[in-house]
Amino acid sequence: MKFNGNLKLAIQKNGRLTEKSINLLRACGLDIENYSERLVVSARNYKLDVLFVRDDDIPEYVQDGVADIGFIGENVLFEKKKNAFVEKKLGFGKCRLLIGIPEDKELASVKELNNKKIATSYPNILGEFLETNSVQAQIIQISGSVEIAPSLGMADYICDIVSTGNTLKLNKLKKSFSVFESEAVMIRTENLEVEKKPLLEELMGRIDSVMNARKSNYLMMNVPNAAVERISEIIPGVGSPTILPLADKNMHAVHAVIPEETFWQIKTDLVAAGASGILLLPINNMIL
Ligand code: PRT
Ligand code: ZN
């Protein structure tokens, strides 16, 4: 396997990043067969081997060149302090590392962390945060279920990953200071073999195209001739809309690519201006 010339990508085997990583690769047109039982899967239509590993091992694999590239949460990457080059953010796996405190406590300033015990699985990231803020606190390193540490009397506060905040609530904790923002990123080994560079560049181009497309939708509607100008003003987006004559001489079709989040903001104005038969379609790929 080592010398087959394929680009080697490490992704999480079984966890929160797995499905989104595979979805992204498939959206890039890569044919990756059922992966659940295997450690390595080769794409059928691209010189790419996907290695399935624990997320904690990905920075080291990429540093050592066992994998050429990896998809990994920035939280793990920065905690592990390995040498790998961040190529791009991937737009999924977003979360925040923050200080969680008991519901009945208040923290007015970061300085109030002085001399406290803080439980975390991220001693390096927390350590840097405390240092930046010139705070001396005791870091209690635990590998899982950090949120129960205050109720067990092991620590005053915690520093853990939060996305919805439900886990904090369940443990009678609440959010305090934000320590680190994270999302999944693509990392690359520092010494990528020259022959693999075109494979990586092609893959990155496809990822850009998929990510651009995910941020946009394709909007189509029918518009009375007199309203075409008004409708064109309402539509935000990438370039000017496409305006096409219809069989009905009084109407035109208007098509446009719009940012995903804007549809519900403009929908009422479009209808009020006379648009009908409004369709909003997903876009698979978009090359700018
Ligand atoms: O087995 P392996 O080591 O590969 O997986 P893992 O258990 O270490 O990681 P996993 O699958 O839980 O998470 C992988 C990555 O997903 C993390 O490194 C983050 O980059 C990202 N991510 C996004 C999250 C969350 N959201 C998240 N909510 N990782 C963990 N959580 C946990 C958090 O630790 C806490 O226990 O979810 C809980 C909080 O969630 P809420 O929604 O209740 O706030
Ligand atoms: Zn892990």
| Count, residues in the chain | 288
Query: 71 C-alpha vs ligand 2 centroid, how far in Å?
Result: 13
pLDDT at position 2 is 53
Encoded amino acid at 58, one letter = I
E strand segments, 154-250: 157-162, 173-182, 184-188, 216-224, 242-245
- The pLDDT assigned to 288 comes to 81
Rounded-to-integer distance, Cα 284 and Cα 66, Å? 32
pTM of the model: 0.91
Ligand 1 — pocket residues by CB below 6 A? 12, 15-17, 54-56, 73, 75-76, 93, 95, 160-167, 182
Helices (H) and strands (E) in the chain, counts: 8, 15
Q: State the DSSP string of 118-153.
A: EEES-HHHHHHHHHHTT---EEEE-SS-GGGTTTTT
Give the containing element (helix H, strand E) for 78.
helix 74-80
> pLDDT at position 214, please?
92
State the Cα–Cα distance between residues 65 and 78, nearest whole angstrom: 18
Query: How remote is the CA of residue 57 from the centroid of ligand 2, in Å?
Result: 8
What is the block-wise mean pLDDT of the chain (288 residues), using blocks of 10 residues?
A: 83 96 96 82 96 96 97 97 95 97 96 98 98 98 95 97 95 97 97 96 97 94 97 85 96 95 94 97 91
Which atom, in ligand 1's list, is nearest to the CA of 163?
44
Farthest-apart Cα atoms in the chain, separation: 77
Measure 251 CA to ligand 1 centroid, in angstroms.
52
- The DSSP 8-state label assigned to residue 255 in this structure reads E
Model pLDDT, residue 3: 65
